[in-house]
Structures are given as C-alpha cells and as structure tokens.
C-alpha cells in the first residue's frame, strides 16, 4: 500500500481512571495498563499496513487540573515508555512526533521527545504522533501568534501548526462511551470520521481497532460533495 493511500487514525484513550476505579486501584494503575495496551495497538498498526499515522492523546491542556501525584506518575510513564521504545522506533522504521506545549512539561521529558524526534526524523515506514499537553484551541492560538494577520490563509495557518507534515485525521476513535470532541485537533479533524466505543481504553484491543479500520474502509467519504 502506498503512503498516500494509508490512513491517519487518532485515538482519544478515555476511561483509564474509571477502569482502575472499578478494580479498586489507584488511578495511575489504569494509565499503566493503558501504556501496555498502547504498545499493542501501535504494533498492530505497523503490521496491518493500512495505517500510516497513529495519533494518541496522552495529556490535554485541561488535564493539569488533576491530582499532582497522578500527573507526575503519568509524566514518568511517558518518559519511561519513550526510553524503552527509543531503539525499537528506529528498528521498526517509525518516525516519532509530538504536538502540544513544551513549556509546562518536565524538562527531561521534553529533552527526550526532542532527541527521539531527531533520531527518527528520516523514518518513513510509520508515524507515531503523541499529543502531550495538547489542546486544539491552544494549538490554533499559538499558530496565529506566529502569523502576521495579513498572512492568515489556510496554507499559512497549516504551516504554523505544531506538526504541519502530518496529514489530516481520517478516523478518530474515542473509548469509554463518551461522545464529545473535547477540543481535539480542531483543524486536522475537519473531515474526520468519528467512532465512539463503550469500552474503557485498557480493554480496547487490537481486534477492536482492526474492526474500526475495517468499518472505516467501507464508508463513503464525500467531503461536502
């Protein structure tokens, strides 16, 4: 399958804390389970071949309202994940990208994300795109601040986004039964197909993702025509 025919799938991995609560566990235990599941889903995308880009929303601009201990543990998990996957990203021909703010994240995590992005920038087999401290409105505000008002065209705004090389999203999957867009990639999701799944993210399997991609392939996308 050519790169141009591959799709961009984005996941809002909702329900990690509720998954943990039902098992009488601390909230971060749900995030730990989610990281393991995320690794499985990423491997499936690489192997299936129909998905060229996988975007996962790891932490939103609104998530800073959560308990500080939970936030710290989540940041530690993200850093640990990247350290563990760093070598295999190159081996598996995977380009790593980050969207979102960097000024509020732990410096060690920012440094690691920058290093991994640099190390994998020439990989073309697959793109793993993590949204960390990300909000759609925040990204657009930051993009507009880069522009002179007289230069605000569709092309110039896209060029000012966090990752302008990433294609628009084709399919967005939100787990846990929530049915809202929640400020997720407002510009890039203009024509995205949405799928809302009742399962909490730790229970969302590679077979569920396969079913989502299979169903997406059957849809007729008219883009307003």
Residue 81 located in a structural domain: yes
106-150 pLDDT, tens digit each = 999 999 999 999 999 999 999 999 999 999 999 999 999 999 777
**Annotated catalytic residue, options 14, 133, 138, 170:** 14
Domain, as residue range, for 23: 3-215
The tally of domains found in the chain comes to: 1
Residue 64 located in a structural domain: yes
pLDDT, mean of residues 1-5: 66
Residue 133 located in a structural domain: yes
Residue 224 located in a structural domain: no
For the entire predicted model, the pTM comes to 0.94
Contacts of 37 (CB under 8 A, 6+ apart): 201, 202, 204, 205
**Annotated catalytic residue, options 36, 37, 43, 63:** 63
54-77 pLDDT, tens digit each = 999 999 999 999 999 999 999 999
CATH number at residue 8: 3.40.1180.10
Residue 95 located in a structural domain: yes
Residue 220 located in a structural domain: no
State the Rg of the chain over Cα: 17
Q: Does 14 participate in catalysis according to the annotation? A: yes
Contact 138, 61 (CB under 8 A): yes
Q: Does 16 participate in catalysis according to the annotation? A: no
Residue 225 located in a structural domain: no
């Amino acid at each position: 399958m050519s790169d141009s025919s591959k799709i961009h799938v984005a996941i809002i991995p909702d329900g990690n804390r509720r998954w943990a609560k039902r098992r009488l566990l601390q909230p971060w235990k749900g995030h730990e389970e989610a990281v393991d599941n995320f690794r499985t889903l990423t491997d499936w995308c690489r192997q299936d071949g129909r998905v060229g880009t996988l975007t996962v929303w790891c932490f939103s601009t609104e998530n800073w309202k959560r308990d500080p201990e939970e936030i710290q543990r989540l940041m530690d998990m993200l850093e640990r994940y990247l350290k563990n996957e760093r070598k295999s990203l190159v081996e598996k021909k995977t380009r790593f990208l980050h969207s979102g703010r960097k000024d509020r994240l732990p410096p060690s995590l920012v440094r690691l994300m920058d290093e991994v992005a640099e190390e994998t920038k020439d990989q073309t087999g697959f793109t793993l795109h993590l949204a960390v401290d990300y909000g759609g409105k925040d990204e657009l505000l930051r993009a507009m601040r880069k522009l002179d008002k007289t230069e605000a065209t569709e092309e110039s705004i896209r060029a000012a986004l966090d990752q302008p090389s990433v294609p628009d999203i084709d399919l967005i999957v939100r787990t846990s039964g929530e049915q809202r867009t929640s400020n997720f990639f407002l510009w890039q999701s203009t024509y995205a197909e949405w799928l809302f799944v009742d399962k909490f993210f730790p229970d969302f399997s590679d077979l569920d993702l396969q079913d989502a991609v299979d169903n997406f392939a059957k849809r007729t996308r008219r883009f307003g025509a």
